[in-house]
Chains A and B, each alone.
Chain A
């Protein structure tokens, strides 16, 4: 990973600018940004782990805690909220048996509420592993969960 990050570093005039792509590499490798992963990124960038963690914590797409194999995110920002995002989220909670922000006991699925996903014309937006489904209604939820569980 050290060498990979050096390559990215070389593309920017200031090495700090490489922190987001470097964090992404680390997350792809470890699944989430473990303290050791953050230390590794920091070492490669010649920054402190605290700085890397601070940056990562600002962005929703970086995970500072373990997540499931699959990631289901429901946009609950204003446009989606107006067309029933809360009901969609609750449907997922019921179907998966967990609350938003939690991971199923088998470690398969993590459910999260998401800030605006940029699909305001097609609410409610649901992202499964960052691939959008839109619009999603509460009645669509069981099929999506089944699909996710089946590995689709």
Chain B
């Protein structure tokens, strides 16, 4: 129990734990201390803006309230009861407004602007400034997604503190000193970092604005819909702003256990894929080799029914893992109970074993020892998890990454072997994990048997009995768990071997872009694709049914913690919702699928989620208790790591965050996509006389790619890393030479 202190604010006695910030203490008592620069998530207060001035008994001058903490006997007066504080805040605002333009009527922030609000309440009604205001070129593109208006900047340093102290990308910085300070990037290069968009939301004035949202809407004509982002398995809570039914921007919505109010640029800016020019808005039938003809819904349903009936159960379903649980269940129920088709290509393996070591993501912050196993950068698989790791490290936690580019270097693909070693008695790190009460394991690699690998290690280390210790598996798909649950909930029958495949049903653009699914399609007589984008299905799908985006769906999804969260429809899709036509199609086979997500959830939740209701999920869903599941035995068959012989290098492809059908259709995000680069270790580069920026030829048996070299001092010698979209046809071992 922390020590309580009693202090007085505006003649009111308040009791709070010692060390609570004065702003929070006042807020708890219903008293406002206005702020601009203060934001506890950005680290210690800096007192840059002086908006929070308060009078404190015994101190001769006004104090910056945000930099003070609650102490016993403190007597604080805010502007409400102190003329001196009121005058101080009034003067602060007068100074802030000296050079601030009065362009509120055309400023995107106008109407939801802290500077506007606080000026109205605490500031001077008139100006004494008779000189011309300082002007700059504007707007300055900080990146294709962010515009900077320097005239409006009040130098609160929120954005640069975020860049330095939260995202730790050190790219948005203050230049020069004092009143001459400018917010800028190096040599006007774009601010290219996965979390850059958060600075728009942090800006308390209209200095940093979104290029997508500029001049698109006024605050009084928008609707904000609370939903959940399902672009990656984290499931950040978001608010979707719409105007006249169109999505205009996405803001973070703080779920303290999941995202702490941060959102990556993919989640924030990728929404314009809804309006992609090749969006499928009508059912399509294949004509000629690479062409489609539009057909009516009636024709489409007739055709689908005919094809499915003729398949005799020899149907394979390929799912994306981005479907809502309800949508996947509707599809599963139709195909499994209506057609006896049980063969599915699930997006990835899932295993409930990980649930025995379940923790909220926020537990990472409080951990003392965190071990990340695997070759994939956490930020590419589950971006916000990387912010939690950085927060933990700043708080003094030790973060050990074990992989081909980790703090401990291991051969690529040896994550499972690493787990085995950590569980063994000879591992010093394993011993420390075992002894710690607050240790966390994270699997960040492909494979891992849906969490079974890392769960087995957690079991061996005795995490089951330690509520502070836990394990996370970072999956490759946003809702793979939920989709697998839905598939299982629909039926537990086994089906016939669908060989040869009569019909391949491909659900979602991710599955449709997957090379394995494409290979299956070549063996299938008929392919039905449910996709959003025409080009994804062009040339190989026979029948295309329009798909919808997560922003257009109502339903639920399960994130990597195992947290069920509620999605709400922010925009009406330009096409019929999947569930509505699935319901009609199912009826033709005598299967009852509701066209509405709520009854569908109710039906399946009874089977797989213990009768949980949508109401219980709420807007900020809680995490279920840890499951009592015996830890699985570790899998003895681990793939041996491939050694490098110096001449040939091991190719380590990774899936970048900024990739996929949606991102490809957002012009503003193209600069974030991985460059055509090959990352080389220092040793390998030296040996080949290659320096950073050189053009090199990457060759494997029969295939080659010309890429730019980038030296990575952290990479294990003998390994090269390439984003999978640039690695395309390269084999597992490659030669790298200067052309």
Contact = CB atoms under 8 A, between A and B. Distances in A.
A35 B713 CA distance: 22
Contacts, number: 33
B170 interface: yes
Interface in B157-212: 164, 169-177, 184-187
Interface stretch (A49-57, A78-86, A93-101): A49-57
A58 interface: yes
A58 B187 contact: no
B175 A48 contact: no
Contact of B172 (A46, A49, A50, A58): A50
A56 to B, nearest CB: 9
A38 interface: yes
Contact of B177 (A38, A46, A53, A58): A58
Contacts of B171: 48, 50
B170 A48 contact: yes
Contact of A57 (B172, B176, B713): B176
A130 B175 CA distance: 24
Contacts of B172: 50
A47 interface: yes
Range of interface residues on chain B?
A: 10 to 19
A57 B175 CA distance: 6
A8 B173 CA distance: 24
Contacts of A48: 169-171, 186
Nearest to B164: A51
A47 B187 contact: no
B169 A54 contact: no
A6 to B, nearest CB: 12
A47 B171 CA distance: 10
| Residue from B171, B172, B175, B176 whose CB has the most chain A CB atoms within 10 Å | B175
Contacts of B174: 54
Range of interface residues on chain A?
A: 10 to 19
Interface string B276-317: 000000000000000000000000000000000000000000
A54 B172 CA distance: 9
A34 to B, nearest CB: 10
Per DSSP, are chain A's interface residues mostly helix, strand or loop, or mixed? helix
Interface in A37-93: 38, 46-51, 53-54, 57-58
Nearest to B714: A46
A54 B164 CA distance: 12
B173 A50 contact: yes
A57 B177 contact: yes
A54 B187 contact: no
B177 A49 contact: no
Contact of A51 (B170, B187, B713): B170
A45 to B, nearest CB: 11
Contacts of A50: 170-173, 184-186
A50 B182 CA distance: 13
Nearest to B176: A57
Contacts of B186: 35, 38, 48-50, 53
Nearest to B168: A48
A58 B182 CA distance: 11
Interface in B185-241: 185-187
A144 B626 CA distance: 80
A51 B172 CA distance: 8
A46 B170 CA distance: 11
A49 B184 CA distance: 12
Nearest to A56: B175
A47 B170 CA distance: 8
Contacts of A46: 713
A3 to B, nearest CB: 13
Interface in B328-361: none
Contacts of B175: 53-54, 57
B173 A54 contact: yes
| Residue from A48, A51, A53, A58 whose CB has the most chain B CB atoms within 10 Å | A48
Interface in A4-49: 35, 38, 46-49
Interface of B: 164, 169-177, 184-187, 713
16 contacts: A35-B186, A35-B187, A46-B713, A47-B170, A49-B187, A50-B171, A50-B172, A50-B173, A51-B173, A53-B175, A53-B186, A54-B173, A54-B174, A57-B175, A57-B176, A58-B177
Given A48-B171, A51-B170, A57-B176, 10 more contacts: A48-B169, A49-B186, A49-B187, A50-B171, A50-B185, A53-B175, A53-B186, A53-B187, A54-B173, A58-B176
Question: Nearest 8 A-B pairs (CB), nearest first?
Answer: A54-B173, A50-B186, A48-B170, A51-B170, A49-B186, A57-B175, A50-B173, A57-B176
